[in-house]
Chains A and B, each alone.
Chain A
Amino acid sequence: MVDPGALLEPLIPALRRYAYALLHDHAAADDLVQDTLERALSRWTSRRPDGELRAWLFAILRNLNIDAYRQARRRGAQVEVDEVDHSETATRQETALEARDVLAALDQLPEEQKSLLLLIGVEDFSYKEAARVLDVPIGTVMSRLSRARQRLRSVVENGPVALLRRVK
């Protein structure tokens, strides 16, 4: 059998970058990557042996992150998120405008749009590969990508306040 290490390790830097872009926290991002690698190793023999290792790994990471987010919500972190958003809005808006902090602006997008922009725009996933990670048809990827960029532009240009108002 091929040594999993030789196949997995070259992908770890990109996994760490994706995790960090999702979480904005270095330690939490590495926790997420560690969980991802552990799960990948435990399912190593049952993976599809067709060279789509990268999409498979990123999908594991993304799903773990979504599950963790759902759990946090169930525990009542929702209230906290609202409060934080309120106080941070002003500073975030400034940062986004002044320093073109696109990474911070990205946080104002729904997870799916955020992941799309990261996978395609940063990790250079093909549209097909991204469709596999998100488990949606490729046509859906294209339309959502367009919407995600539109939204990101709106956050960067107008700040998150306008966007939040419009969403509600």
Chain B
Amino acid sequence: MTENGRLAEFEARIRRGEKIEPGDWMPEDYRRQLIRMISQHAHSEIMGMLPEGTWIARAPNLRRKMVLLAKVQDEAGHGQYLYHAAETLGATREEMIEALLSGKAKYSQVFNYPSLSWADMGVIGWFVDGAAILNQTMLARCSYGPYSRAMVRISAEESFHMKQGKEQVILLSQGTAAQVAMVQDAVNRWWWPSMMMFGPHDQESPNSPVLIKWAIKTRTNDELRQDFVNQIAPEVMELGLTLPDPDLHIEKATGNWIHGPIDWDEFWRVVRGDGPCNAERMAARRKAHDDGLWVRQALEAYARREAGVAAA
């Protein structure tokens, strides 16, 4: 079959709603875009452990500590599901880890902000995981089978992340004056970084058209962001809290909550490595990688011994 014929057949499969599986023919650009997206997503899960990890030892009680520990452990597991999904496309773990550690690969900008108080653990769960779930629910319908299946699993597990966070925000918002002030401060700091998680506006998102044509993504950045505002804004207000957006208002005709302008200069600054915690996060990641060297060496020694035993 000619290259064009194959492409036409591939696109017909996508239109029929079929899943593309690892051994199937796919355009090189489909493979490249998926590896880029899935590995970035995996890196985000791994880097996403850092802002919360720092609060595990300072959790206010045993219940909250177990919950936070479980959430951070899930994120490590989600990173694994995703690295495996990328490997089905021919990417190797070493290439991907190397790209992360060298700073070549990107991860979600939101993890380059500091977590300053315990209330951040509530707000991160509600806003950051809430935003991630919207994105992942969309990706669960992705045309690439292994990515879609990883997303189904991850979305199901992350609804616990979101709900444990929201529960804390609700309780803190009904607590003492100091607790209310603490949670309002956390909301103020995490709102815009969470809104930016969906990425640039549609007209400025160069990859979007091809990603949508091949059903890697099935909805646009702005559509998902609109769902996010509609979900969160009214409930934050019901709690007596405010969002740091003076332009936020409900549009009568559509029922949509319309937000004010997003500071894209800040977004690109953080993406390019100059956010409040980029250097700290990368240093923590590299240290964890170096500290884990003995584990990798022990595993390799075990593998060599097993191979030797098998050969003998």
Q: Do A and B come from one complex?
A: no
- Residues in chain A within 8 A of chain B (CB atoms): none
- Residues in chain B within 8 A of chain A (CB atoms): none
